[in-house]
Amino acid sequence: MFNRKRLPICAVLVLYLLAPCKLHALEKVSISHSVTLSATIAPLLYGIQRGFFRDENIDLEYRVLRADIGVNAMLNGEVDYIYSAGTATRASIRGLPIRALSYDLERLLHFLMGRPGVKTASDLRGKIIGVSSFGASGDVAARMCLKSMGVDLKKDVTLVSMGSDSVRYNALKVGSVEAIIAPLPRNILMKNEGFTELCYAGRLFKGTVGGVIATMDKIRNKPEQAKAVLKGMLKTSRSLRKERNNFVEFLITRVKLDRDIAEETASVLIEGQTKDGIIEENDLQAAVDSERQILRVERPVKTSEVADYTLLREILSKEEAVEKTR
């Protein structure tokens, strides 16, 4: 027979069992970048799909916002973080109160691609080179590549801002330009069509490409949330090498790459990952100085005005302490 006297006790037990679920409810957090789907953000999207952020009680939503709009949205509290580290570096140099909490990619994933038959600097002299927009990461990559080839940017070539990589590709195809800067994996597709890969910018210098960027208010007021996001990114970055085959399958199914292109793309992305989210001081200062010169900012800019590794170092220090006890 049903005993009504036991009902209150059962009710208490049910509430007790359900309480932990409420305490550990996922926190909705948003992060934005300017692209819908590309190699640059593939590691981030892979981490979201794998559940690395959910492991830290973060329900991470990826939003597509133009780079400058993303910065403003973050400053206004409409998104929590942005992932475009190059844009963030330039914004910080201009004095906006934002900082990179970590860097996941340290190599610019851009390639200088020439028309068939173009092989040397002499083939480019007097010609037009297509970039996305002046001051963007691709523009920086193009200039560094051309300089490394011995091209005088003022005398030998004309750089033209042409917008998206598909527009630049079509211009190269019809002969309107002699070379363009192309992002991964567009360069692989172009090589297969007979275009010439003249330079990989990521082999020349390290740059701020992808990372977790926050406002200074966010760092002060929500450090635990920021650390949870950073832990998710650390898990993501560390997983790429260990789960390479799974990551390749992700590139095939989500980014819609052919297997051979996915394999090469994965290799470049894995090689471009930072160690534990940190670009070392000298490399970061060089990247900051390069951006500062493009922006024509004369005053010296310290790395502390661009990046704040405090929360990341706390995480790494705790991991190291736990490891020592094992």
Enumerate domains of the chain plus CATH numbers: 25-108+206-325 (3.40.190.10), 110-203 (3.40.190.10)
Dist CA 132 CA 139 (whole Å): 7
Picking from 33, 43, 40, the residue whose alpha carbon sits closest to that of residue 186 is 40
CA 115: distance to chain centroid? Answer: 28
Residue pLDDT, tens place only, 2-54: 454 454 544 444 444 444 444 568 999 999 987 776 788 899 999 999 999 99
- Of all residues in the chain, the percent with pLDDT exceeding 90 is 68
Q: Burial of 290 by CB count in 10 Å (0-12 exposed, 13-18 middle, 19+ buried)?
A: middle
pLDDT of residue 4: 47
pLDDT of residue 104: 92
Q: Is 36 helix (H, G, I), strand (E, B) or coil?
A: coil
Picking from 33, 62, 46, 39, the residue whose alpha carbon sits closest to that of residue 272 is 39
Q: Is 275 helix (H, G, I), strand (E, B) or coil?
A: strand
Helices 259-271 and 42-50: crossing angle in degrees, nearest 10, is: 100
Residue pLDDT, tens place only, 278-323: 999 999 998 899 888 878 899 999 999 999 999 999 999 999 998 8
pLDDT of residue 16: 42
Dist CA 202 CA 208 (whole Å): 11
Specify the residue for token string 């597709």: 189
Whole-model pTM: value is 0.81
The mean pLDDT of 224-236, rounded to a whole number, is 97
Picking from 275, 302, 296, the residue whose alpha carbon sits closest to that of residue 104 is 275
Residue pLDDT, tens place only, 140-172: 889 989 999 999 999 999 999 987 788 899 999
Dist CA 54 CA 199 (whole Å): 39
Distances (CA, A) of 232 to 50, 89, 244, 257, 312: 10, 22, 18, 25, 11
